[in-house]
C-alpha cells in the first residue's frame, strides 16, 4: 500500500467553537491510531492546516470524513503525493496552537505576516510543518 501525504487548509464555520479543538484531536488520535495515520494539525483563530500521512486508502478515508465535517469549510487541497517515508511517525496527530504560528514564520513561508495557509504553496506549508515538528514533544 503506497505511503501518501495529504496537506489541506480550511476555515472554521459558525458551528465551530474553541472547545471543539480538544474533541477534534481526541477523535483524530483515536481513529488515526487505529489506521496507522500520522500527522500534524495547526490552528490559528480561523484557519486549519493539516498534514495526514499513511497508506493511501487510510488517508483517503480519513480525508473523506474530514471533508464532511460541518465545523470547517473552504477546504483546499495543498499537497497530495506518494512519499518514501513519514515525517510525523511519532504522532497520530500532533497539534500546533496559534502561539507557535508566529508572524516571522508566516513571513518566511508565505506572502503575509499573519498565518494564512491559503497564501502558501503545498511545499511551503509542508516545510513549515517540518520546522514546527522540532518544537513539539513526542508522545
Ligand atoms: C480540522 C479538522 C481536522 C480533523 N482531523 C481528523 C483526523 O485527523 N482524523 C479523524 O479521524 N478525524 C478528524 N477530524 C474529525 C472528523 O471530521 C470526524 O468528526 C471524526 O473523524 C468522526 O469520528 P468518529 O467516526 O469516531 O465519530 C477532523 C475534523 C476537523 C474539523
For 39-91, how does the pLDDT look when each residue is reduced to its tens digit (9 = 90+)?
Answer: 999 999 899 999 999 999 999 999 999 999 999 999 999 999 999 999 999 99
- Domain assignment of residue 139, yes or no: no
Average pLDDT, the chain: 95
Which atom number of ligand 1 is nearest to the Cα of residue 41? 3
Q: Which residue has the cell 474530514?
A: 66
Element (H, E) at 10: strand 3-12
Alpha-carbon torsion (112, 118, 6, 38), positive or negative: positive
Cross-strand bridge partners of residue 34: none
Q: 98 Cβ partners below 8 Å, 6+ apart?
A: 43, 44, 45, 115
Confidence of residue 136 (pLDDT cuts 50, 70, 90): confident
- Domain assignment of residue 9, yes or no: yes
Cα angle at 49 between 47 and 17, to 5 degrees? Answer: 45
Cα 26 to averaged position of ligand 1 atoms, centre (Å): 9
Predicted local confidence at residue 138, as pLDDT: 57
Predicted local confidence at residue 35, as pLDDT: 98
- Domain assignment of residue 138, yes or no: no
pLDDT digits (tens, 9 = 90+) for 97-124: 999 999 999 999 999 999 999 999 999 9
- Domain assignment of residue 42, yes or no: yes
Q: State the helix-helix crossing angle for 20-35 and 56-67, rounded to 10 degrees.
A: 160
**Using a 6 Å cutoff on CB, does residue 6 contact ligand 1?**
no
Predicted local confidence at residue 45, as pLDDT: 85
Cell triple for residue 84? 518514501
The span from the first CA to the last CA of the chain, in angstroms, equals: 26
Q: How many domains does the chain have?
A: 1
- Domain assignment of residue 99, yes or no: yes
Confidence of residue 139 (pLDDT cuts 50, 70, 90): low
1 DSSP assignment: -
Output the domain CATH number for residue 66. Answer: 3.30.70.100
d(CA 124, CA 77): 13
Nearest CA to ligand 1 atom 13: 28
Full domain range(s) for residue 85: 3-133
**Using a 6 Å cutoff on CB, does residue 31 contact ligand 1?**
yes
Amino acid at each position: 500500500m503506497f505511503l501518501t501525504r495529504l496537506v489541506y487548509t480550511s476555515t472554521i464555520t459558525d458551528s465551530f467553537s474553541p472547545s471543539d479543538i480538544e474533541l477534534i484531536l481526541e477523535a483524530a488520535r483515536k481513529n488515526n491510531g487505529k489506521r496507522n495515520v500520522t500527522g500534524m494539525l495547526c490552528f490559528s483563530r480561523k484557519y486549519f492546516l493539516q498534514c495526514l500521512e499513511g497508506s493511501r486508502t487510510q488517508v483517503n478515508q480519513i480525508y473523506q470524513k474530514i471533508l464532511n465535517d460541518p465545523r470547517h469549510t473552504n477546504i483546499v487541497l495543498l499537497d497530495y503525493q506518494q512519499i518514501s517515508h513519514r515525517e510525523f511517525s511519532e504522532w497520530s496527530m500532533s497539534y500546533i496552537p496559534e502561539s507557535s504560528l508566529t508572524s516571522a514564520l508566516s513571513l518566511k513561508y508565505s506572502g503575509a505576516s499573519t498565518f494564512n495557509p491559503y497564501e502558501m504553496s503545498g511545499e511551503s506549508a509542508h516545510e513549515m510543518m517540518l520546522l514546527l515538528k522540532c518544537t513539539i514533544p513526542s508522545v
